[in-house]
A and B are shown apart, each in its own frame.
Chain A
Amino acid sequence: MRGHMNIRTLFFPTATLAVLVLFLPGFSPVFAQPEIPVVDAMPAEPQKIILTMTIERMSIVWEERGGWETFKETLGTILVAVCGFYVMNHYLLEHLMFNFPELLLVLLSVCLLFGNYTGYRVSELLRFRDLSVGKP
């Protein structure tokens, strides 16, 4: 969603994040060895990684497109994140995701499906509006 009339958000590789979230608890037995000192430094919670990513993306956008654009994209990201917060706090969703983390694979497949979408974007309906009139 990158048209001028949509909410602007920072860019996140959704599929990568889903794999990451799956990977962390999957490998936690390996990481949880007290004799390996790096363990404590490993961020056990994926949100720390996501936060780091947010900061990195923000700094790139700031460098490339300036403060105003960063402000707009951050605002959009916060808006989506707040919506996400309420969705995640839904008791049924909470129950399902915590007890069946493999549901993330379903989410991953949806992400990949979106990546294969070849139809028009909403912004393109506007962009090509002059083409939709007249003879087919």
Chain B
Amino acid sequence: MLLTWRRLERKGVLGINARNHAYVMRYNPRHCYPLVDDKLKTKRLAIAAGIAVPELFGAVATPHDLSHLTDIIGHRHQFVIKPAHGSGGEGVLVIDGMRKDLYVKPDGRALTLDDISYHASNILSGIYSLGGLADMAMIEYKVCVDSILAPVSYRGVPDIRLLVFRGVPVMAMIRLPTRDSDGKANLHQGAVGVGIDLATGVTTEGVWRNRVVVEHPDFGVQLPGLQIPTWDKMLTLGARCFELTGLGYMGVDIVLDQTFGPLILEINARPGLAIQIANQQGLRRRLEMVEGFETVTDDAEARAQLSRELFG
């Protein structure tokens, strides 16, 4: 036990207490939290700043507005409904296509419009929101998986998590949906996290259920050596989120769309620590390197470049 402790310390692995105390509480001003906890706000902010996000089709705020749901969905065959204050992928409903007048989920199950309306009404009542407060339902564009990432994703969209500290991306991983995770890209639901080399955008080993893996658990595809497309663009995108939110320590989730390229999905003010297992590296040393700079440039492009040089 003590031996494990010392080894983790030597590797610079960041624990949850240290993360909260030395980084989240010190670098994330409390008043910035509502900007990221409410995904509708994040989205509006991002659009205003010219940062690419999945298009918002509409939002439902009150049970009365549920009658507008049909207008919002319109003739669309593909869309996503999610809670504005959700966390960990809870309450996200993906509609992949239509069969007659039924809406089909990625797993093949079909829903009527009433089912969808019922789901939205559940979201409004707050069963998926933090603290159970009344929530809003967002209806947005369903991301189409890029053809390079499709062979390693089980019925879902993989997302790239960048850990951005003082505007400098310090670590990255890609989260791949599995059969276990039901097509969701959240690690605690059973998705695989795969480390990414910041300089090149090439994947390393992965983590699944807190253990190191080298193959995708469903497809057996080798995880290391995958080149993430548009990597440089993603790094800059992640770095730009610092000006957007004012959060010194945050997790930025990026998805890669077939037609629109990298899009910001959401931003997290208390990003998890599994990224360390995926990268087989502790965060502490990297964070301390960035902490050592008196000032960090306010040019996002330069910060992305800095990240490539420091951590490649």
Using a CB–CB cutoff of 8 Å, the interface residues on chain A facing chain B are 63-64, 116-121, 124-125, 127-134, 136
Contact = CB atoms under 8 A, between A and B. Distances in A.
By DSSP majority rule, is chain B's interface helix, strand, loop, or mixed? helix
Given A116-B21, A120-B5, A131 B15 contact: no
14 contacts: A116-B21, A117-B17, A119-B18, A120-B5, A120-B17, A124-B8, A124-B15, A125-B5, A125-B8, A131-B11, A131-B282, A132-B3, A132-B4, A136-B7
A130 B13 contact: no
Nearest to B3: A132
By DSSP majority rule, is chain A's interface helix, strand, loop, or mixed? loop
A131 B280 contact: yes
B75 to A, nearest CB: 38
B11 A132 contact: yes
A127 B210 contact: yes
In the A-B complex, the 7 residue pairs with the smallest Cβ-Cβ separation, listed nearest first, are A132-B7, A118-B18, A120-B15, A136-B10, A132-B4, A130-B212, A125-B4
Interface in B1-60: 1, 3-5, 7-11, 13, 15-18, 21-22
Contact of A128 (B1, B8, B17): B8
Contact of B11 (A116, A117, A121, A136): A136
Nearest to A60: B132
B175 to A, nearest CB: 17
Contacts of B17: 117-121
A64 to B, nearest CB: 7
A119 B20 CA distance: 11
Nearest to A130: B212
A76 B7 CA distance: 32
Contacts of A63: 132
A129 B15 contact: no
Contacts, number: 59
B275 to A, nearest CB: 11
A120 B210 contact: no
Contacts of B211: 130
Contacts of B280: 131, 134
A124 B274 CA distance: 11
B296 to A, nearest CB: 24
A118 B276 CA distance: 17
B277 interface: yes
Nearest to B274: A127
Interface string B252-283: 00000000000000000000000011001010
Nearest to A124: B15
A21 to B, nearest CB: 26
Contacts of B11: 131-132, 136
A132 to B, nearest CB: 4
A109 B22 CA distance: 20
A129 B13 CA distance: 11
Nearest to A127: B210
A42 B282 CA distance: 52
B15 A118 contact: yes
Contacts of A129: 4
Most chain B CB within a 10 A radius of its CB, from A64, A128, A129, A132:
A128
Contacts of A116: 21
A131 B276 contact: yes
Nearest to A129: B4
Given A121-B15, A136-B7, A128 B132 contact: no
Interface in B167-214: 207, 210-212
A119 B4 CA distance: 13
B210 A121 contact: no
Contacts of A64: 132
Nearest to B2: A125
A59 to B, nearest CB: 12
A119 B211 CA distance: 22
A81 B18 CA distance: 29
Nearest to B279: A131
B6 to A, nearest CB: 9
A134 B207 CA distance: 15
